[in-house]
Amino acid sequence: MSSLSHLEHGGPHKRTAIQVHGAALAALSFQSLGIIYSDIGTSPLYVLNGLWPSSGSAPSKEDVIGGISAIIWSLTLLPLLKYVLISLQFSTTEGEGGSFALYQGLYPPEEKDKDSDRVLTGDSINRPTYSTGSRLKQAIRGPLLIWSLFGTALTMADGVFTPAVSVTSAVGGIAVAKESVTQQIIPISIAFLVVLFLAQQFGTGKLAIAFAPIALLWFLGLVGTGIYNITTYPGILRAFDPSRAVLLFKRTRDYDLLAGILLALTGCEAVFANLGQFNASSIRISFCCIVYPALILAYLGQGARLIVDGENVVQNVFYKSIPGPGGGPLFWIIFVLAILATLVASQALITATFSLFQQVVNMKSFPPLRMVYTSETIQGQVYIPAVNWTLMVITIIIVGVFSDLTKLTNAYGFAVATVMFSTSALLAVQMRYVKHWPVLIALAYFLIFGFFDGLFWGAALKKVPQGAWVPLMIGVILMVVMVFWTWAKGLEEVFDGANRQNLRHFIWREDQVMPNKEADEAEGLEGREDKDEGDNDPIYFYLPTQTFSGEDEGVSVGKRELTRIPSMAVFHKITAGPGVPHTFVGFIRQWPALPQLLVFLSVQMFPIARVDPKHRFSVVNTRSVEGCYGVTYNLGFREHFDIKTDELVEVLCELEMQYDPKNCDKIISSIKAVSNSATHIVPHYHVVSKKVNVGHLSFAVNYVRKYLIQEIYRRLATMFPETANWLTSADEIIHVGINATI
């Protein structure tokens, strides 16, 4: 077996975390302001009115100080300590963050030998796999998968409510200056949202360049107004004393206040979920230097004004606390900044949602969707059209239905609290099994942060009847889809791998002995392969059939001659791994003819934007059958699947010249003669549910299993084919139907 590798040995085979320093790190930190932090940064628009509704009376001085204290320490413990300082250490090797990334860290996908994709012979095709880790870790794998997918699904649901709440809150400020347009708040908000979603196709990088300056001006505005307002009542600085927060709940015994304080934390999960679009250092710099100080000053300033001028300010705490007259120049400057900032805030969760869908699609936990990579350097920056338009439609419906801002915020907080608790649980497990920290550290982390997350989750849970059922419903639906797809796709891939065959055991020449699996195992991967004499002898394939007679089982083997036809066929290997794909077996059995040029193609994505054309193909010549090649098609993440036959043929000819320079003319002429018409052959699995025996429940289980696999998964797999993004003409693709009993 000879080979020609057109990609440098040892080059990157998978995506890695973003590594930048100096000016590049400063630029990335600046960009993160416009993508990550504008969600939590726009919380001052509605948090205090979430605590004390505009329809109620103004709170007392001690209640205001206690409420601001609770907000300050919540921001310190959760966004700053838990997410920025701790969680960012737990990304995947590819730099991804979020609930599903934590699961991947615990149970990383199996490392596969990429070169094995081009191995068509040898008896190492079905290697046994062994579980690693403790029995407890393996026992909790299923529940943790469901839990992480639920957390991921709720973060996606958060991507619906963030634009709805943020934009509506900002636009609502116009009623402070002009009450006559109060009824137009919803239509104006929808118009802004449509523009925002239309802009997503320009990509994260370009949007960050436009949004980051807006976010910076917004945070500077919060700093300026906050400092000014603090001077009206410096006593508000007593809020830095955490006992004030404790006394608030002891005095009022109002547990529901936590649901309002939770609104100050909305967007903190985006800090972790957006990690793949930036990196830990850039996120930490921007939060610690700009975001955290600005938020603390903003809430202190609003609290001071609420104490000084309570009855007036409580009507709309944010806009009423802007220095100067209502409708004055500063008011309109802040209003415009608020509108722009909330559009940017919406971007944070939309971008995070794209990242999360990229993760679950790549891990085959969601139907394949078309992803548009928008950066030449950062693979994590993607735009997913189907997700974008779906988010837009649902968000507009939410804004229209939840016309009352109070109902919107009730629905908003539940998803945030649930995701925070999910992250704490997964982080604690990672500390023990990935970082290998002592059990006491993991347990202490979960008890401390799980306690605070649990408090917020309990308060948000009480809001389910008042609107929080909506994100819960969206999250449950998405989770069910992801769990179902993970299960069904896994069964299909197990079938695909189990039905790979050694080419040597399926096809042989007249001058060779019948296939002998035991002999191959003794000789190894390279045994009995190169035998050039007799190339004109007939080629046969065998048809093994199992027969059952009572308790006796037998295998009868027959042979059938194959006719070589002057054509080129490309058999696609949908899943990675050695051996001949089941597509080829089914094709030969239906049409007993062997193309003159036979290519078994697998695809490998590299963590670079574009692969040099001279490194496009990696090729192995399988000498057991003349004209048979194993090929890997190398792609960068911004490139489309578009095989150029002339480039492939050139590589095949170059390989033959290297293998036998003196006697290669005949083979090269044969390759070029049939290369004008290439046919792509891909599998179309007609999935069928196999029967399982689970005792008395067998009938019910098999009925449900059959319905899920044959009625639902089969239809979805047809709607979302693996070949949807190919640029190859449909006239050149043959789908070979194969019954897959899974």
Residue 330 or residue 199, greater confidence? 330
Residue 379 or residue 706, greater confidence? 706
Closest C-alpha among 165, 189, 164 to residue 175: 189
Q: How far apart are CA 565 and CA 95, in angstroms?
A: 49
Identify the band that residue 13 occupies on the pLDDT scale cut at 50, 70 and 90.
Answer: very low
CA dihedral for 701, 703, 706, 707, sign (positive or negative): negative
Are residues 83 and 255 in contact, defined by beta-carbon separation less than 8 angstroms? no
Segment 623-645 shows an average pLDDT of 79
Q: Is 534 exposed, middle or buried (0-12, 13-18, 19+ CB in 10 A)?
A: exposed
Segment 601-619 shows an average pLDDT of 79
φ, ψ of residue 561 to 5 degrees: the values are: -75, 140
Query: Residue 3: left (phi > 0), alpha (psi -120 to 50), or beta?
Result: beta
Range(s) for CATH 1.20.1740 in the chain? 2-107+151-406
Q: Where are the beta strands (DSSP E) in 573-651?
A: 593-606, 617-621, 628-636
Identify the band that residue 59 occupies on the pLDDT scale cut at 50, 70 and 90.
Answer: very high
Q: Is 448 exposed, middle or buried (0-12, 13-18, 19+ CB in 10 A)?
A: middle
Identify the band that residue 589 occupies on the pLDDT scale cut at 50, 70 and 90.
Answer: confident
Helix 385-401 to helix 329-362 angle, to the nearest 10 degrees?
A: 130
Going by the DSSP 8-state scheme, the letter that residue 506 receives in this structure is T
CB atoms within 10 A of CB 260: 23
DSSP β-bridge partners for residue 735: 682
Residue-level pLDDT at 244: 95
* Residue type for position 64: V
Segment 203-225 shows an average pLDDT of 82
Could you tell me how many helices (H) and strands (E) the chain has, helices first? 28, 11
Identify the band that residue 291 occupies on the pLDDT scale cut at 50, 70 and 90.
Answer: very high
Residue 549 or residue 198, greater confidence? 198
Identify the band that residue 7 occupies on the pLDDT scale cut at 50, 70 and 90.
Answer: very low
Closest C-alpha among 647, 653, 677, 649 to residue 568: 677
CB atoms within 10 A of CB 602: 21
CATH class of the 2-107+151-406 domain in this structure:
mainly alpha
Are residues 252 and 453 in contact, defined by beta-carbon separation less than 8 angstroms? no
Q: How far apart are CA 350 and CA 470, in angstroms?
A: 18
Residue 184 or residue 633, greater confidence? 633
Q: Is 257 exposed, middle or buried (0-12, 13-18, 19+ CB in 10 A)?
A: buried
Identify the band that residue 217 occupies on the pLDDT scale cut at 50, 70 and 90.
Answer: very high
φ, ψ of residue 568 to 5 degrees: the values are: -120, 130
CB atoms within 10 A of CB 653: 17
Q: Is the pLDDT of residue 31 over 60?
A: yes
Q: Tell me the pTM.
A: 0.75
Summarised one tens digit per residue, pLDDT across range 465-498 is: 877 788 888 888 999 999 999 999 989 888 887 8
Are residues 535 and 625 in contact, defined by beta-carbon separation less than 8 angstroms? no
Residue 166 or residue 440, greater confidence? 440
Q: How far apart are CA 224 and CA 201, in angstroms?
A: 34
Closest C-alpha among 503, 570, 532 to residue 666: 532
Are residues 605 and 617 in contact, defined by beta-carbon separation less than 8 angstroms? no
Q: How far is CA 478 from the centre of its chain?
A: 13
